[in-house]
Amino acid sequence: MKPKLFKPSNKKLGFYMVLILAALALAAALGSPSIGLLSSKPPTSGSSSNFTFRATGFFHTAFDGKRWWIVTPDGHPFYISSVDHVDPAPDVDRVTNLCPYCIAIASQYPNDQAWALDTVSRLRKWGFNSLGAWSNTSLLGSMMPYTELLGMASGNDWFAPSFVSNAFQVANTAVAPLKNDPNLIGYFTDSELRWGPDWTDQHTLLDSYLQLPVGSPGRQVAEKYIHDPNGFLSALATRYFSVTTAAIKSVDPNHMILGVKMLAQLTSPAVLEAAAPYVDVFSIDDYALIGGLSNYIKSSWSPYLNVDGNLSLFYKYLHKPVMVAEYSFRGAGGLAPNTWPPIYPTYPNQQARAQAYESYIKGIYASPWVVGDQWFEYVDEPVNGRFDGENSNFGLVSTSNVPWSDLVNAMTVMHSQAPNVLAGNPSPCWSYQQTGTGSQVKCLLYANSCPANVSSPSSLWPYCTNSTTKSTIG
């Protein structure tokens, strides 16, 4: 049973085509892939140790005077460390029409529930504390906090009444049933929408709306902004964020709005400023590109923001916390050929891939306005590519369900240094050790519903007694 309104069928597709021709045209001149080393300054939680915030019963945000936090339902500081697309049935090979991961785990587990228990145990072992977009939350959502991706944008005229009615319909269908779930962190309203010139249309959105039929709502608004594309973009973004937030809050006043998973390299200040009053957290998808490509985008299409190591320019225009909702690095050494799309660096081996991750995450942890990161994705993509041809080593595990040890070991180490750990509040399960009788997990368990000592994975839900306990699982 699939829990989402949609699977990642539109995942990054627009972004690929935004960049793909540019990447191919520049390939001869770009040289070797590179990612600039980011700041290794430690997180800035300082003396803010073992503190608590107001408990509301749901995840929310707070600022402690030094940095922004996600706050757990019972008031503890929390930094989101998630993985996207955690699912026993991920990508299908577009040539064979088979799911290689599905075949592998069918021989390893008696059923999906057994897979779920083992997978959550793995994620906790590696220091993850939550689930990202496209994860199977019907199977996993009671075991870990999670984020929910909606699809609220509709049509080519967001000033039309139909845009409003669709947003409220999505809210009634997908949001209302979750309004009382304390495990839900919050909602992404959409993923990777078009906010300016890209491969599909190198005109501004003002130009696009001026091409709508005479008398249509969007064209009437656009005609007020002739020769002012930035002003129109601000009006359009305000319309989008005000409508989608109102729709969600009409049925769920409890959970956070996490923004639109905006492509980092295609972000305009006007959109950030328009979003700020309506979101609790602004989410971006931040993939490192092959050398020179970011500058090509800026010079060819629009004065988009530079993406620096600690995302300071995003905060400059938002004054709200930021989350990296997607990022990844790929390396050689597995079955995934890493040939599509050719816009991302491919590291020569898994050790270099792990080092790229570590360099990136140090800069993110050092940023006092970043409240989480969500790695894309749990499983490598099929050797012949998924639906859109993407065939990358983005996974924490191979399609045979074997972890990439260099990467997950680096993640385990870095998660032990994550901001919430330095603040004295580790994630629900933060250390993992194999013993002669099983696996020993040290957990900080919240809320009131679980016993102080638990003995099976199915009991290791995120919110239990307000104490620290060691639990042995087989």
Share above pLDDT 70 across residues of the chain, in percent, rounded to a whole number: 78
Question: What pLDDT, in 10s, does the model give residues 79-117?
Answer: 999 999 999 999 999 999 999 999 999 999 999 999 999
Average pLDDT estimate for 28-44: 28
pLDDT at 9 > cutoff 80:
no
Tally Cβ neighbours within 10 Å of residue 418: 25
Between CA 346 and CA 318 the distance in angstroms is 32
Average pLDDT estimate for 330-353: 95
Smallest CA-to-CA distance from 122 within 98, 105, 102, 134 is with 105
Would you say 231 and 225 are in contact if contact means Cβ atoms under 8 Å apart?
A: yes
Between CA 473 and CA 453 the distance in angstroms is 11
pTM of the predicted model, to two decimals? 0.83
Range with the largest mean pLDDT of 34-38, 213-217, 429-433, 450-454: 213-217
Average pLDDT estimate for 122-126: 91
Share above pLDDT 90 across residues of the chain, in percent, rounded to a whole number: 68
Higher-confidence position of 373 and 4: 373
Between CA 263 and CA 127 the distance in angstroms is 26
What is the per-residue pLDDT for 50?
59
Question: What pLDDT, in 10s, does the model give residues 443-470?
Answer: 443 333 333 233 333 333 333 333 333 3
**In one letter, which amino acid is 104?**
A
What is the per-residue pLDDT for 470?
36
What is the per-residue pLDDT for 391?
97
pLDDT range class, residue 17, cuts 50, 70, 90? very low
Average pLDDT estimate for 430-440: 46
Question: What pLDDT, in 10s, does the model give residues 181-232?
Answer: 999 999 999 999 999 987 767 889 999 999 999 999 999 999 999 999 999 9
Question: What pLDDT, in 10s, does the model give residues 284-337?
Answer: 999 999 887 877 887 777 778 888 889 999 999 999 999 999 999 999 999 999
Domains of the chain: 8-427 (3.20.20.80), 429-474 (no CATH)
Helix (H, G, I), strand (E, B) or coil at 185: strand
